[in-house]
Structure 1
């Protein structure tokens, strides 16, 4: 890719390819996993196993340029399909919200051994909050990312609770980023139930389990009945722990199981925030701490609701994403850094040649909708490439990262499509 009509600079591959922040799903075991699914008369190839639980496995599947997720349920011990019927029925009733995973359809898969399994065809999402926590271990996420995740999950819970449902298994692994919609979405409704009609004894995951759910589980194990079922308040407790982990960068499973936490969780939250006080601005820290503490009352009746939590002043503060956020969260817009020198921006012929060369190169990886190279700050000399979808931008990021241009290594990040469309280019990203 020529820098200009008079330049000999080319973009070349490094000796060793090192794509940044690549997610590596489980390899598909051909002996135990399907190779293809036939869905509505069309063959979908299994590309990777994204996760495996006690009752179901999730696969990334592809048919042509379309990619989706398939959740395949195992037949339970009694030969029934309770898990499949439970999750599909809940998902069908809560469709249409931007922060809840989209259900495309349901089908039965007949494998070569004559076993029929029930499956859900779902929207394919990207990185989970669990993976994000691993990548920034012990340092915590930016306020922009915490606010983005908190708002998206609260919007989903507010909708879910208005519809009369409790998610009952909120945790980092069940909050996933949608690269095309640029938001976080909730998945996995296998333990969900109608508020006031709890039909699942053991709910929530260890480390994110509300005190009343912990008590109920203990009674159930002892063969005793609880006086009352759990409510939507259990979801707010789980979210409070998730946000505390995102702020601290520390997994809190052992902390929330400790006697010190049971005796005075508020003091532990204060200690976590005081330990990180120098890293974050004081006012946002105060509001975030207040928001989290409102979700972590031992008495579920005192906990904030999802709707009231959205009114916390924390959500009125504008934040810009850090560069780590733009590397971690894919979008349809790719940003190339360390590519264009200032002297190429002010010669009109050179500039037009650069635009055309960049388009030609970037179109090798997907459909380019638009391309922008600002001549002035903010964004001076950076290349913004809008692809038709996030799949194309991720492929471009994978193949362009680490290549050299005019003797310089190309650096790539993603960029918020919403900001790009508004012409808002962040002046500085820490």
Structure 2
């Protein structure tokens, strides 16, 4: 699980405990929720994965005491989230509550939708997985999926007059239940024209005008012109360039070469990777990113115009590693079925029954498919009633042996499965 909150998840995070050794509990709307893990910790808030007695899961963002700015941060994020609720690509706020600890300290909390892996983790894990290959970076399928989802969120946010102001890989998370990426962490967000925070955006994803404004604010110089929604497009351009290249660009965007001619640097990055992809989609993605990374914010593309890019009209296939990393209600099991089993009707029906019986041990199976022809020939596709069932099945089935064969279990995009579209997955 990845956090819905302000910081990277702690590796191997354990369930939080009080100084007494007892598990941390939150009483939320009259029900007791147990903290299963601390997912992240920032300057003003900590984020926890919590579970109720009914096996429901959610995220709690607990703000620090008022002396650390936590009370202001709570009211700020609460007001923004309440104002922008309802969009599929923005984290859902379930409610707010006050937590009274055993030490007599009261803290303000947000109860939020629990999301999965962040783009930051995808960048890190995919780079590790493919380190033995010359090509790095994510597939065009994932870059397109993330770009479209984030642009949809930004188009909505900007129509409502808000600037996110802290777009970065750790603030874009995958939702296994909704099969899309969502924006989180609105602690620096503001209404355009009413900027109430001096320092915005994170180093490496900060637009030139935000860099200037932050520097002047630090020097005590007040500006009449404040940052606009254009700063979010700059951040997204850097994120997409990192996803495509597989390289963190913090040092690159600080370099003299970038300052002198950022377009030439982008061309160079694409030129070094383009052999792995068809030329036309690469050109479309390159031009889309360039339109986001124009130094003059007034000439930068908007989220709405970016969504009209021809890059979004091209179908792509995912990498197999991405299907391992992005949870879905659908599992794909490999290395199980012989071709000989597919052409004997009795054997085929027996295998279907056996596989359904086995897969039902881990959750409620909605449907099961074993294609007899390519694409997908001999692979087992299992649709569970929930992504949590599929995640548990993937965890328990991976590495098991059936008839002397080691099982490989990946997730599979729900929309593609329901449309009968079986990808020839990129290896």
TM-score past 0.5 threshold:
yes
Residue 179 (structure 1) aligns with: 176
Deviates further, 47-56 or 337-346: 337-346
Residue 91 (structure 2) aligns with: 101
| Aligned 8 A contact 1:287 1:314 in 2 | yes
1:263 positional shift = 1.6
| Aligned 8 A contact 2:336 2:405 in 1 | yes
Spell out the pairing of 1:314-325 with structure 2 (5 A cutoff).
314-325=311-322
* Pair 1:271-2:248 in alignment: no
Number of paired residues?
Answer: 409
Aligned mate of 2:400, from 400, 403, 410: 403
1:219 positional shift = 0.7
1:34 positional shift = 6.4
The whole-number CA distance in structure 2 between the counterparts of 1:189 and 1:308 is: 23
The whole-number CA distance in structure 1 between the counterparts of 2:69 and 2:310 is: 51
Aligned mate of 1:341, from 316, 338, 341: 338
Q: 1:23 to 1:180 in 2, by over 3 A?
A: farther
Aligned mate of 2:66, from 46, 59, 76: 76
| Aligned 8 A contact 1:25 1:50 in 2 | no
1:31 positional shift = 4.2
Deviates further, 286-295 or 61-70: 61-70
Residue 17 (structure 2) aligns with: 30
1:29 positional shift = 4.3
| Aligned 8 A contact 2:16 2:37 in 1 | no
- CA-to-partner distance for each residue in 1:49-78, whole Å, 9 max, x for gaps? 111100111111111221111111111326
Q: 1:264 to 1:330 in 2, by over 3 A?
A: same
1:352 positional shift = 2.0
| Aligned 8 A contact 1:368 1:387 in 2 | yes
Residue 118 (structure 1) aligns with: 108
Listed as ranges, the gaps of 5+ residues in structure 1 are 1-21
**Backbone CA RMSD of aligned residues:** 1.7
Residue 48 (structure 1) aligns with: 37
1:88 positional shift = 0.5
Spell out the pairing of 1:12-411 with structure 2 (5 A cutoff).
24-31=11-18, 35-63=24-52, 64-77=54-67, 81-137=71-127, 139-411=136-408
| Aligned 8 A contact 2:18 2:24 in 1 | no
What TM-score comes out, normalization by structure 1 length? 0.92
The whole-number CA distance in structure 2 between the counterparts of 1:392 and 1:297 is: 45
Listed as ranges, the gaps of 5+ residues in structure 2 are 1-8
The whole-number CA distance in structure 1 between the counterparts of 2:317 and 2:171 is: 25
| Aligned 8 A contact 2:61 2:111 in 1 | yes
| Aligned 8 A contact 1:46 1:60 in 2 | yes
Give the 3-state SS of the residue equivalent to 1:245 in structure 2: helix
- CA-to-partner distance for each residue in 1:121-149, whole Å, 9 max, x for gaps? 11111000000110122711000000000
1:80 positional shift = 6.2
The whole-number CA distance in structure 1 between the counterparts of 2:348 and 2:175 is: 34
| Aligned 8 A contact 2:336 2:407 in 1 | yes
The whole-number CA distance in structure 1 between the counterparts of 2:66 and 2:254 is: 31
Q: 1:140 to 1:31 in 2, by over 3 A?
A: same
The whole-number CA distance in structure 2 between the counterparts of 1:272 and 1:378 is: 33
The whole-number CA distance in structure 1 between the counterparts of 2:11 and 2:295 is: 38
The whole-number CA distance in structure 2 between the counterparts of 1:371 and 1:394 is: 16
Give the 3-state SS of the residue equivalent to 2:46 in structure 1: strand
1:259 positional shift = 2.2
| Aligned 8 A contact 2:46 2:61 in 1 | yes
| Aligned 8 A contact 2:64 2:70 in 1 | no
Give the 3-state SS of the residue equivalent to 2:201 in structure 1: coil
Which aligned runs of 4 or more in structure 1 are off by greater than 6 angstroms?
Answer: none
Q: 1:156 to 1:268 in 2, by over 3 A?
A: same
| Aligned 8 A contact 1:322 1:429 in 2 | yes
The whole-number CA distance in structure 2 between the counterparts of 1:394 and 1:127 is: 13
Q: Which structure ranks higher in relative contact order (CA pairs < 8 Å, sequence separation ≥ 6)? A: 1
What TM-score comes out, normalization by structure 2 length? 0.93
